[in-house]
Structure 1
Amino acid sequence: MHQVEFKPEQHKKYFRRSLDILPSESAMFDCSRLTILYFVLIGLDVLDGLDLLTEEHKRSIIEWVYGLQLVPSENVLDHKCGFMGSTTVIHLKNYPSCEKYCESNVAMTYMALCILITLGDDLSRLNKTAILQGVAALQKPDGSFKSNYEYGESDLRFVYCSLAVCFILNDSSLINVNNTIHFISKCLNYDGAFGQNPGTESHGGSTYCAIASLSLLNKLNDVINSKKLKILERWAVNRQINGFQGRPNKDPDTCYSFWIGATLRIIGSLDKINKEKNKDFVLNNANFLTGGFSKDMDSIPDPMHTCLSLCGLSLVEMEGLSPINPALNITERATNHLKQIQH
């Protein structure tokens, strides 16, 4: 496999088109359009391409995102506050008979906050108290978090999203941090990596969620001592074939250049991988007709794999890409903006 030319302008155009039109197979994501918007805007920011959007367009996106915020009302209880994923379902808050379907999702709340920060919003229109109460209501006695209040599944993905929301809002006083750290530690396996729940197979995505969560809490050393760190490092480095696989005996996938790469960056071991092989793999999965990146050579591009491919390339210092914050998965530029509005 040889390294092909990196063409950032094509990927900017891919993201710009994705804000206006997507193929019909994307209709299944209508209820979580916020997810697509997140990957498009983070990806554009990594490409230093937000200037493709006019200030009016940015304001309209910000207004749309705030329109997804659920605040306490006659039909919305405190424990369901936060952000929903789409205007497809937000109107249900006006119909009492549909109240049970009208609730936030902590992953959508995390993505909404990242979008607002990336577009330079000051977060002054957030109902922070309601959001934090909504997050706290999702915590289970074992320290994990559900995705949403009614029937939500719980695992490390939603632990990460919950802690990221608390980090962004600079307040974790309503959650039991010690229980969460204990839950994360129970997800650690003998091979040094983490499963989504205790007793489940180690995976690159859940390992990232665990390590990023501990990093946001500044508690990494409380769970991962130097011996465990070496075992984790070996597991993560061994996921590289040319690109990275999510778990042993699986094909490599471009998104794990971020999930595994960010994990290794956080623990200070990214220098142990073959960066050139990883670049080759990711760049060879770019589509130079439409722009964008796919998971592998047998797939078509999508916003998620395009964004995470670029984030993975940023981690290995691909020329022309903005540096990212590996624990929040936003750019350092956006992180600096967050720091300014937190003080």
Structure 2
Amino acid sequence: MASDFNKATHIRYFLRCLKTHLPTAYTSNDSQRMTLAFFVLCGLDLLGALEANTTEDEREAYVAWIYTCQHPDGGFRGFTGADLGEERTQDNEHWDPANIAATYFALASLVILGDDLSRVKRSQCLRWLKRLQLSDGTFGEALGGEGEAHSGRDMRFCYCAAAIRWILAGGTTEEEDIDVDGLVRFIEASQTYEGGFANGPFYEAHAGWTYCAIAALSLLGLLHPPAKPRRRAQPWPSDDSVEQMLGWLVNLQTSLLQEEDLSISDSTEAIAQLELENVAQQTPVESIQVLSPEDPLTDGVDAEPLYDELQWAGLTGRCNKVADTCYAFWAGGSLTILNSVHLLDQGALRRYLLEKTQHRIGGFGKLPGDAPDIMHSCLGLAGLAGMGEPDLMRYDPSLCISLQAKQRLESLPWRQRCLSN
């Protein structure tokens, strides 16, 4: 199969998901409808196909539905099914909570749809966000009956909090801000000896948690890849930790594509050979640097490759796991934020996505041979966008939306006023 990006089939796939009934397998995700909506809208946004394939009335209807999920005390619900409406009282309001993940997805979706966010209860949302923060700096998912934050200490919620704060220009006006220092301390404490980030201190590093940590720090304005190699800014404590993190991320690229590649029937020598083939493609850790986009990729890197190029090499979330489409974003997006995606074998990653998990009906599956699903289809596009796929929009890896949508948000008068205060 040629490494062709089938843009037209991807557009048709996302339009089917947007305008027709989803397969019955999604029924159990009905309470996460805001999440599904984001992945569909984000996919069409990255394809540059949203406005051309929907009418203004349709887009206004999507915006109106999102606002029906807005909670009166700030934040957004995951779907309308929890809205108690006129039956809502002090005794039962804990059954009608806003959700931190749904709030991020709602705000990002509104930005993609071109809404000016003028109907967002901004002050209430920022106050609600502060109430969700726990004593260790992390965030809960929702508020309970006594106003306490529930289900916290999750790096994903830390990312959602940082993204909500950034979109709403929190910390720039009279609203009381979250404890940024506490959040950063939690993130820093979650970096492991391997260099990646875990879901909390003393857990295993994972590409998904690492993305959430790096993107959160970026949105908090604390991550500044330097203009010159070996010069660093906050929050990293040393150059060694940056190199260690980049080395760990790069070595998540793997030629292990199927579960049978890890079968116990495989010989130790065969598995070792696969690992050697994988490692052979990686830049040595001692030559890895956080680069600005203008810096040449020559210092410390041999001009001629020493090994033949791998045909397919996807990205995985943890050591000793097979490649998975979504990690082209979780790991690849982390490297894109750090201006270091060039350290990957981008040709082998692109071929993995387009020849192994791109589906003939459009979208991407999780693993080779899998049917497409909304999340992996969106994140597969995001992974390709991070590598500069010409048929995709340029995108912002920290928010996972197109640069066009982000720039529209940044140009809104209310947001500019907040930032100027």
Match of 1:58 in 2: 59
Q: Would the aligned equivalents of 2:219 and 2:398 in 1 still touch at CA under 8 Å?
A: yes
Match of 2:203 in 1: 200
- Of 215-224 and 246-255, deviating more is 215-224
1:27 to 2:27 alignment: yes
Note the 1:218-297 alignment, pairs <5 A. Answer: 218-220=221-223, 221-224=233-236, 225-241=238-254, 242-283=313-354, 284-288=356-360, 290-297=361-368
1:303 to 2:316 alignment: no
Q: Would the aligned equivalents of 1:195 and 1:206 in 2 still touch at CA under 8 Å?
A: yes
Q: Would the aligned equivalents of 2:253 and 2:316 in 1 still touch at CA under 8 Å?
A: yes
1:146 to 2:147 alignment: no
1:319 to 2:390 alignment: yes
**Structure 1 residues 39 and 159 mapped into 2: Cα distance closer, same or farther (>3 Å)?**
same
Unaligned stretches of 5+ in structure 2? 145-149, 224-232, 255-312, 417-421
In the TM superposition, what whole-angstrom CA distance separates every residue of 1:235-269 from its partner, at most 9, and x where no partner exists? 00000011100010011111100111111111221
Cα distance in structure 1, aligned partners of 2:249 and 2:346: 14
Cα distance in structure 2, aligned partners of 1:178 and 1:229: 20
TM-score, normalised with respect to structure 1: 0.94
Unaligned stretches of 5+ in structure 1? 73-80
1:217, CA displacement in angstroms? 1.2
Q: Would the aligned equivalents of 1:93 and 1:99 in 2 still touch at CA under 8 Å?
A: no
In the TM superposition, what whole-angstrom CA distance separates every residue of 1:155-193 from its partner, at most 9, and x where no partner exists? 110000001000001113421111111111110111111
In the TM superposition, what whole-angstrom CA distance separates every residue of 1:187-218 from its partner, at most 9, and x where no partner exists? 01111110011111000000001111111112
- The amino acid across from 1:281 in the alignment is Y
Match of 1:131 in 2: 125
The alignment yields a C-alpha RMSD, in angstroms, of 1.3
SS at match of 2:362: coil
- The amino acid across from 1:127 in the alignment is K
**Structure 1 residues 58 and 317 mapped into 2: Cα distance closer, same or farther (>3 Å)?**
same
1:83 to 2:53 alignment: no
**Structure 1 residues 316 and 3 mapped into 2: Cα distance closer, same or farther (>3 Å)?**
farther
- Of 134-143 and 92-101, deviating more is 92-101
Cα distance in structure 2, aligned partners of 1:63 and 1:244: 38
Q: Would the aligned equivalents of 2:76 and 2:98 in 1 still touch at CA under 8 Å?
A: yes
TM-score, normalised with respect to structure 2: 0.77
1:91, CA displacement in angstroms? 3.5
Match of 1:45 in 2: 45
Q: Would the aligned equivalents of 1:92 and 1:101 in 2 still touch at CA under 8 Å?
A: no
**Structure 1 residues 142 and 276 mapped into 2: Cα distance closer, same or farther (>3 Å)?**
same
Match of 1:67 in 2: 68
Cα distance in structure 2, aligned partners of 1:15 and 1:101: 32
- The amino acid across from 1:287 in the alignment is H
1:92, CA displacement in angstroms? 5.8
**Structure 1 residues 3 and 183 mapped into 2: Cα distance closer, same or farther (>3 Å)?**
farther
1:167 to 2:166 alignment: yes
**Bigger radius of gyration, 1 or 2?**
2
- The amino acid across from 1:45 in the alignment is D
Cα distance in structure 2, aligned partners of 1:305 and 1:65: 23
Q: Would the aligned equivalents of 1:139 and 1:146 in 2 still touch at CA under 8 Å?
A: yes
- The amino acid across from 1:195 in the alignment is A
1:189 to 2:192 alignment: yes
1:61, CA displacement in angstroms? 0.2
In the TM superposition, what whole-angstrom CA distance separates every residue of 1:39-73 from its partner, at most 9, and x where no partner exists? 0001101001112111110000000000000013x
- The amino acid across from 1:21 in the alignment is H
Cα distance in structure 1, aligned partners of 2:253 and 2:2: 17
- Identity among equivalent positions (%) equals 35
Q: Would the aligned equivalents of 1:203 and 1:247 in 2 still touch at CA under 8 Å?
A: yes
- The amino acid across from 1:285 in the alignment is T
* Structure (1/2) with the larger helix percentage: 1
Note the 1:5-16 alignment, pairs <5 A. Answer: 5-16=4-15
